[in-house]
Amino acid sequence: MGLFSFTQEIAMDLGTANTIIITNGKIVVDEPSVVALDRRTEKMIAVGEKAKLMHEKTHENIRTIRPLRDGVIADFYACEQMMRGLIKQVNTRNHLFSPSLRMVIGVPSGSTEVELRAVRDSAEHAGGRDVYLIFEPMAAAIGIGIDVEAPEGNMIVDIGGGSTEIAVISLGGIVTNKSIRIAGDDLTDDIQEYMRHQHNIKIGERTAEEIKINVGTVYKRPENLTMDVRGRNLVTGLPKTVTVTSEETEEALREPAYQIVDAVHNVLERTPPELAADISDRGIVLTGGGSLIQGLEELIEEKTGINTMTAEDPLTAVAIGTGKYIEYLADDDKKSKNK
């Protein structure tokens, strides 16, 4: 970037659970997708981790909001405020000039025109001058170093907080895809639900997520782990501690896990045979935080007969790919200027 060029470039993975911003190839913001607003003035009070800590502990004048649901913007105003707040964190040193802002944002491949419009509008309202969108599975593939331009089929399964995106990529485009509204946060919900049914105990979302991460599995674990959790006894209303086992989580998580497997199956069925053959040679790659649930690789492998592996940094793959895409756009600019 030259001395007098005030174009700033920001790549954003706007996720249901986490938002990551990359500038100059580096992660500069990685925060939960939460914003806290003043109920009366609608002004932003906090964003990201700070806002998440306020969640469920607010008084009547503050409300905390997760602006995205199931991978798409559910609250337009809150989303814009959140983006603005997060972009500000990048721009602290640059207060003297307000540079023209070029943004690339990852969006679900199943987005409707209206949903794409909403992301673009939010980004523009938050200060973006040039706004580009990239489909998340494509960004994930670029992020983990797959040569997406090659005439070869690659399957990416990106499991986020609110949605799972499955796509087959070849020659720089998405050939077949499917997006379902079942992902990591649904696993958490199902653990909460299971505890209520099976143990008559109400546990918080945070506790349910801890169970999922510490002992949760969607496939038989070699050893049956246990964890003691506290909640409220639904019969007496008093605090109660129960022990939950991984075997139990396998039962609790069976339905959402199979919905993900079925969706993978469905995409494979619709994939042209030559590309399907590539995928069975090269394997299926999992990305997104939701892919970290223990046993998912084994389950998909067993049900499809195709080798399945989780990316090295599943939580940042989409963001890194979005960052590489913005560099590619900048190189393209230079080339066209030099012509």
323 binds ligand ADP (CB under 6 A): no
Interface with ligand ADP in residues 168-187 (CB under 6 A): 184-185
Nearer to Mg ion, 294 or 322 (CB): 322
Print the binding letters for residues 1-30 with ligand ADP: x by CB under 6 A, - otherwise. --------------xxxx------------
Name the burial class of residue 238, with classes exposed (0-12), middle (13-18) and buried (19+) by CB atoms within 10 angstroms of its CB.
Answer: exposed
Q: Of the candidates 67, 85, 137, 160, which one interacts with Mg ion according to CB under 5 A?
A: 160
Nearer to Mg ion, 15 or 216 (CB): 15
331's enclosing H/E stretch is helix 317-338
Measured from the CB of residue 197, what is the shortest distance to Mg ion in angstroms? 30
| DSSP secondary structure letters along 39-92 | TTT--EEEETHHHHHHTT---TTEEEE--EETTEES-HHHHHHHHHHHHHHH-G
Give the residue among 203, 248, 211 at the shortest CA–CA distance from 227. Answer: 211
Q: Which does 209 bind (CB under 5 to 8 A by kind): ligand ADP, Mg ion, none?
A: ligand ADP
Collapsing DSSP to helix, strand or coil, 192 comes out as: helix
Interface with Mg ion in residues 4-63 (CB under 5 A): 15
Measured from the CB of residue 320, what is the shortest distance to Mg ion in angstroms? 12
Measured from the Cβ of residue 328, the count of other Cβ atoms closer than 10 Å reads 12
Query: Which 8-state DSSP code applies to residue 99?
Result: P
48 binds ligand ADP (CB under 6 A): no
Collapsing DSSP to helix, strand or coil, 181 comes out as: coil
| DSSP secondary structure letters along 260-312 | HHHHHHHHHHTS-HHHHHHHHHH-EEEESGGGGSTTHHHHHHHHH-S-EEE-S
Per CB under 6 A, the segment of 230-238, 283-291, 300-308, 324-332 that binds ligand ADP is 283-291
Paired sense of beta strands 100-107 and 128-135, if any: parallel
Print the binding letters for residues 204-233 with ligand ADP: x by CB under 6 A, - otherwise. -----x--xx--------------------
Interface with ligand ADP in residues 296-315 (CB under 6 A): 315
Measured from the CB of residue 294, what is the shortest distance to ligand ADP in angstroms? 7
Nearer to Mg ion, 64 or 316 (CB): 316
How far is 92 from 196, CA to CA, in rounded Å? Answer: 46
Interface positions with ligand ADP (CB under 6 A): 15-18, 160-162, 184-185, 188, 209, 212-213, 288-290, 292-293, 315
